């Protein structure tokens, strides 16, 4: 076991982790943050996407001990005082979800794209989301939701 210090959704945690524990499992099983989904176990789908020090990462590709000293945001940490984050609200307004399984990872990937200035237009949004898969929506409403937040018209 190794000591790990994480800040997740604004709360500091001191944990003892096995070196082999994946971050996705630490979040789900030890911290009960089940909005981070395990989708494919091969890092292909993006359902496990979280923000690690502000950058979107697939939490199934990171060991919990590698996250020592970092700040993590999961889908549970986006809303403020009961009010949805603008990207969450846009997904709701544009019905950018169906089954919802990919939605937490898709929303966090979108937040990262927007905050890093990479959601310049619809083509950039599509390219930025290529690591997140959705089997239900066909992506149109997802792209429209993100474009709505950024004010993109092209």
Asked, for residue 43, whether it belongs to a domain, the answer is yes
Asked, for residue 81, whether it belongs to a domain, the answer is no
pLDDT at position 136: 86
What range defines the domain where residue 99 resides?
86-150
pLDDT at position 43: 83
Shortest CA distance to 61 belongs to which of 42, 37, 35, 45? 42
> Of 76, 102, 125, which residue constitutes the final position of a domain?
76
> Of 46, 76, 106, which residue constitutes the final position of a domain?
76
- Those residues of the chain that have pLDDT short of 50 are none
pLDDT at position 97: 87
Q: What is the 3-state secondary structure (H, E, C) of 49-112?
A: EEEECCEEEEHHHCEHHHHCCCEEECHHHCCECCECCHHHHHHHHCCCCCCCCCHHHHHHHHHH
> Of 44, 76, 108, which residue constitutes the final position of a domain?
76
Q: How many domains does the chain have?
A: 2
Listed in sequence order, the residues at least 6 apart from 27 whose beta carbon sits closer than 8 Å to its beta carbon are 8, 33, 36, 50, 59, 72, 74
Domain of 111: which CATH number?
Answer: 1.10.150.120
pLDDT at position 119: 95
């Amino acid at each position: 076991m190794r000591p790990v210090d994480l800040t997740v959704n604004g709360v500091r945690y001191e944990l003892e982790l096995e070196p082999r524990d994946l971050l996705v499992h630490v979040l789900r099983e030890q911290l009960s943050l089940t909005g981070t989904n395990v989708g494919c176990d091969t890092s292909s789908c993006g359902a496990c996407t979280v923000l690690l020090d502000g950058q979107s990462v697939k939490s199934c590709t990171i060991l919990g001990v590698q996250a020592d000293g970092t700040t993590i945001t999961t889908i549970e940490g986006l809303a403020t005082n009961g009010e949805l984050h603008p990207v969450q609200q846009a997904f709701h307004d544009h019905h950018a979800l169906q089954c919802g399984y990919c939605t937490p990872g898709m929303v966090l990937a979108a937040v990262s794209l927007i905050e890093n200035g990479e959601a310049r237009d619809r083509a950039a949004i599509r390219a930025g989301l290529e690591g997140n898969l959705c089997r239900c929506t066909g992506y149109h409403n997802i792209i429209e939701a993100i474009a709505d937040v950024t004010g993109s018209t092209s």
